[in-house]
Amino acid sequence: MEINADFSRRVAVHAARLPWVPSPMAGVERRMLDRIGDEVARATSIVRYAAGSRFSPHVHGGGEEFLVLDGVFQDEHGDFPAGSYVRNPPTSRHTPGSGSGCILFVKLWQFDPADRKEVKLDTAGIACEAAPHRPGVELLPLFRDGHEDVRLEKWAPGAAIALDVPGGAELLVLDGRFDEGGERFEPLSWLRLPTGSILRATAGPQGCRIWIKTGHLLTVRGGAWKRE
């Protein structure tokens, strides 16, 4: 299966408008944003767990990164409420589920095979800080290394955003809205910009809050992805 698999092109997906697609596990559904592969896949998705649903225990061969958007995600390592950001690196293992139900933004098979850095961060109550040299922008760092920079950003109402993203970028709207490329991006809208791009956007009248990752698409060669 291939969905938005050409990484040399701008892609916009308004996930709130997509149908939920059942996964192989009862009670777990997905809205697929990009994907290369079948059930073992390089994938970016919105995932919904019904109350009481659970996946079988498994090892993350290519790593897993997720942000809890709603509800409470659970595994043997703890409870992760909305706003939790988690990185489970290659070789990590867990049994994911949710007693009350939850919605996640999930990225799979996108780690360096040697990466062993775990992150479990509850962003609720952590204040954003003003972004240097970026008027109208506040940010909350989630993860950064030589390969990528992951963060939450708040854009002030009407803020004009211009950001060089030589290593590409992905954005997911969490609250509010922005306009970019003649399109309106509202909650659960996802935008992927290829390497060498400049992000030019205007925040809506109430501002917006986004998840953003930059730099990581430099490892995608020739507009295609290969598992190492």
Tens-digit pLDDT profile for residues 82-120? 999 999 998 888 888 899 999 999 999 888 888 889 999
* 55 alpha-carbon distance from chain centroid: 20
Of 213 and 220, more confident: 213
Please, what CATH class does the domain formed by 19-122 belong to?
mainly beta
Task: Name which of 48-62, 124-138, 159-173 the model is least confident about.
Answer: 48-62
The pLDDT of 129-137, averaged and rounded, is: 95
Tens-digit pLDDT profile for residues 75-84? 888 899 999 9
Residue 132: name the closest of 106, 108, 110, 153 by CA: 153
Tens-digit pLDDT profile for residues 17-31? 999 999 988 999 999
pTM: 0.93
Largest CA distance in the chain: 48
Report how far residue 23's alpha carbon sits from residue 13's, in angstroms, rounded to the nearest whole number: 20
Return the domain boundaries, the chain.
19-122, 129-219
Domains 19-122 and 129-219 share a fold: yes
- What do you get for the CA distance between the two ends of the chain, in Å? 19
CATH topology of domain 129-219: Jelly Rolls (2.60.120)
